[in-house]
């Protein structure tokens, strides 16, 4: 961002720096970036690089597997769940439901995929998530 940017950008810069985020021009936003508005108009986006974002994790797995989660076959959906789990996605609130929705499967299916890779019954995993 240039020094001649909107005054709002200068006002939020200390906060952006304090949380380890990065200012992103509106033209360069990606899934997971937060677009900030001033008087109802987008001014700048902020990328929270040090904070885990489910949309960013999902986008990374989709890029790695070469297709949106919903278009993957069963084996690749299981692989995607493993990759998301390795990256900490399921530590985030409501992530099981959100990933299931993105894949077009139920949360029980996600629990089954997780249990298969961990060798635990799905009931034990779902009880631990409540």
pLDDT single digits (tens) 20-73: 788 989 999 987 789 999 999 999 999 876 566 889 899 989 999 999 999 999
In the chain, beta strands by DSSP E: 22-24, 34-38, 41-47
For residue 41, what pLDDT is reported? 93
Quote the pLDDT of residue 40. Answer: 93
Write down the pLDDT at residue 3.
Answer: 44
Q: Which pLDDT band, with edges at 50, 70 and 90, does 130 fall under?
A: very low
| Residue 124 tokens, joined | 């034990």
Query: Considering the entire predicted model, what is its pTM?
Result: 0.58
Question: Across all residues in the chain, what is the average pLDDT?
Answer: 86
Average pLDDT over residues 12-20: 82
Between the alpha carbon of residue 109 and those of residues 53, 54, 74, 104, 106, the distances in Å are: 22, 18, 11, 10, 5
Backbone angles phi, psi at 46, to 5 degrees: -125, 135
Q: Are 21 and 56 in contact (CB under 8 A)?
A: no
Residues 70 and 100: beta-carbon distance below 8 Å: no
């Amino acid at each position: 961002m240039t020094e001649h940017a909107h005054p709002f950008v200068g006002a939020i810069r200390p906060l952006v720096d304090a949380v380890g985020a990065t200012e992103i021009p509106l033209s360069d936003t990606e899934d997971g970036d937060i677009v900030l508005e001033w008087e109802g108009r987008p001014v700048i986006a902020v990328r929270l690089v040090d904070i885990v974002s489910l949309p960013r994790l999902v986008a990374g797995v989709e890029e790695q597997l070469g297709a949106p989660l919903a278009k993957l076959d069963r084996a690749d959906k299981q692989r995607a769940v493993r990759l998301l789990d390795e990256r900490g996605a399921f530590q985030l609130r409501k992530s099981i439901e959100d990933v299931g929705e993105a894949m077009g499967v139920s949360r029980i299916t996600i629990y089954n995929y997780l249990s298969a890779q961990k060798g635990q019954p799905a009931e034990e995993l779902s009880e631990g998530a409540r």
